[in-house]
Structure formats: C-alpha cells, structure tokens
Structure 1
Amino acid sequence: MTDGPMNHLQMLVGDGNLYICRVKNIFKPAYTGNRWLNGDKAYSIKYGYDWLQGQHEPVPWHYRVWNSLNIFKHSFIYSLDGVLERLKTRDHLFRAGACQQNSCLLCGVGEDSCLHLVFSCTSSSRICQQIMLWLGIKVSSYENVFITWKKWGRWFKSKKLQKVSYAVLAALVYHIWMSRNYTLWNDAVNSQSGL
C-alpha cells in the first residue's frame, strides 16, 4: 500500500464508520483557500482521488495486461501469473507443508510454479507455438509465453493488431492456468486441443 492519506481513509472505512469531518481533516493539507494543492487549479473529485492514491511507480507491462480488448478475468490471471508471480501454485503449498508433491501438473517435469508455467513448461510452450503458427508469427523451438509476450509487441506494427495479440496472449495464460486447475481438481489431464 502507499503511504499517506489513503491509509487513513481505509482505516476509517475499515471500522465501518466514515465520518465526514475526519475525511475533511484528511483533505485539509491539500486544500487551501479556494484552490487545490499549489493553487493553480480548482478542486475536482479526480484531483482529490489522485492525491489520496499517492505516488505510484509506473510499470512497463500495464498496456499489455490491462489492454482494452482483454477480458477482465484473463487480464487478472495474466497479471498474477505472468507478471507478478502471485498465483497459488503447488510450490507455495509444498514449502508450507500443505502438499507432498510440487511437480508440474501439465508436463510432470518441472516444479509447479508461475515461473515454470510461463517460462519452461513443455505443454504451455507447445500450445504457444501452435497459436503463433495460427497467427502467422515465425516460431522458434525455444518459444515460451514470456518470450512471445515481448516478441508480439515488436512483430505487429499496428496498435490494433498489438492489442489483439496481447488479448490472445492473456487468454492463453488464463487457459493454461485453468487447464492446470482442471488437472489438479479433477485428477485428469486436459488435452492440448481442449485448450
């Protein structure tokens, strides 16, 4: 979380009591006279919200993940898996002692981790190569989802085609994750053609 006024506001909302006077006191340092912050513009809700959020570090992958053509659930899983590595895979459970095995559910070779699913799983690499052939992109033998992610941005010159390719890539990561979960919960391997 960011430091600053947003933490105070979350504490107020968290206990169920949002007092207008307290919120007013949070905004007081930024609002003087009839002007907002340094006095060059009038207050608006947008400026107030931006001020409450605080400073955020820009990330280079946001336009790929939060693409306007992506379906939200695809973007969400894509951000957790491919970018932030926060999906709950068996390697996390194995380290916590909650499961006995940590092998990949799709290929059975590597450990079941976000890095393995995106970088080195043979099953996800084969699926990625098939989709690249379908899209007409030159395929090499070492293709994986991460290399593809960087490559597709350079391959397509049109912004519209880049957005479509990133939406396809987000869907690919989502369906790889769903196939992995299907294998885990149903004790059955989902075929690559089923993806």
Structure 2
Amino acid sequence: MEKILWEQWMLDTKGYTLKSGYELVRVKHQPIVWHKFIWNPWCVPKHRFICWLIIREALQAKSKLFALVICPDELRLLCGNATETHLHLFEKCVYSRSILQEMATLCQMSIPDANILQWIWQQKWSKARKDIVVCAFIACYYQIWMLRNRSRAEHSLPRPSIALNMARNSAKLRISVLKKPIFRSLY
C-alpha cells in the first residue's frame, strides 16, 4: 500500500508539495453532522454531555466493565437479560423503550425502532419543533442513564412513568427558562 501511495505522490502532475503528501496519507472521516443537534442551547447542559457520551458509546455500560474485569457480570440492570450495551440500553431495552414511546406520545409523534435522534434530525419539521423534541428525548436518555446507575447502587428500579415525568419536567423547565414566546405557547 505504501508503494502505491508513494508512486501516486511522485507522479502527481502538480509536482512535489507537502500539502499533496499530507492529503495522500491523512485519514478522511465522514463530516460530523450531529454536533449542532446535540449541543443546541435548548437542552440542559448535563443532558447534552451524557447524550454526547451515548453517541460516542463512551459510557461505562456493563459490557465494557465486564471486559475490563471490573464487574462480575454483564447482565442488564434495567431489564435483567443478557448483555448491557449502549445499543440495548438506549434503543432496545423494554424499560427504556417504554419511556421513549411515552415521550413520543407526549410529543404527538411515533418513533422508529432504532436511532431516534438521527430520525429526528432527518425530519422536515420547523426548527422550534426539532429543538423541543430533541430537548425532550435527550432528557429521557439522561434519565435512563441516571436510573440505570441508581438501580445499580440501590438495587431498585422506579416505574418508567417516574422517569418520564422527571425527563418531561426538566425539559419543560429548561424551555420555560429560556423564555422564547414560541416555546411558551407550545405547552
């Protein structure tokens, strides 16, 4: 592979330049399109941070802790079945899914089976509606993570309706604090 790169660089019609050499060997990634979506000012900052970690799969789910020999098992804390991974915890878990479905009902929408935030991003809604829906779902993800941690520490799990109310109240409070007339009229 290196020989091919070298030959391409040497046979470049523009001649030898440092820029052409750099462009040849650098790794090109897809542009990040979700950063403005996650870091919008309508979401509570700690919710945004947890969501950023979720997207990067950087939270310490039990599958990671088990692989590092930090915890004795990798069973899911919320539903008690098989392996706890990011995908399961925030998209597939029955407990989490019930919270997300109820939030979708409150937002008067139906959600797909996977990758809810990407689905919201692709919708042709007004910016105001997207901001409200993103704020609500990111609050849900935050509450799911906090309840997962609480269940680990206290060995008890509240009903999904409690998590939904906590997420709803924090999103509602954040939106009302920003005092935009369009948002106050929507709830």
Task: Please indicate the TM-score interval, normalised by the length of the shorter structure.
Answer: 0.5 to 0.7
Secondary structure of 2:36's match?
helix
CA RMSD of aligned residues (A): 1.9
Q: Is residue 110–residue 121 contact of structure 1 (8 Å, CA) maintained in 2?
A: no
What corresponds to 1:193 in structure 2? 161
What corresponds to 1:68 in structure 2? 41
One-letter amino acid of the counterpart of residue 37, structure 2: R
Q: Indicate which of 58, 63, 68 corresponds to 1:91.
A: 63
Aligned 1:1-195 pairs, distance under 5 A: 58-81=31-54, 83-139=55-111, 143-144=113-114, 146=115, 148-155=116-123, 157-195=125-163
State how far apart, in whole Å, the 2-side matches of 1:124 and 1:192 are: 8
Q: Which has the higher contact order (CA 8 A, sep 6+)?
A: 2
State how far apart, in whole Å, the 2-side matches of 1:191 and 1:171 are: 16
Q: Is residue 182–residue 190 contact of structure 1 (8 Å, CA) maintained in 2?
A: no
One-letter amino acid of the counterpart of residue 117, structure 1: L
**1:170 Cα shift?**
0.9
**TM value normalised by structure 1:** 0.64
- Tell me how many residue pairs correspond in the alignment: 135
**TM value normalised by structure 2:** 0.66
Deviations 1:50-90 (A, max 9, x none): xxxxxx97411112210110111000000101x10000121
Identity percentage of aligned residues: 27
Q: Is residue 150–residue 156 contact of structure 2 (8 Å, CA) maintained in 1?
A: yes
State how far apart, in whole Å, the 1-side matches of 2:123 and 2:71 are: 42
**1:152 Cα shift?**
2.3
State how far apart, in whole Å, the 2-side matches of 1:129 and 1:180 are: 18
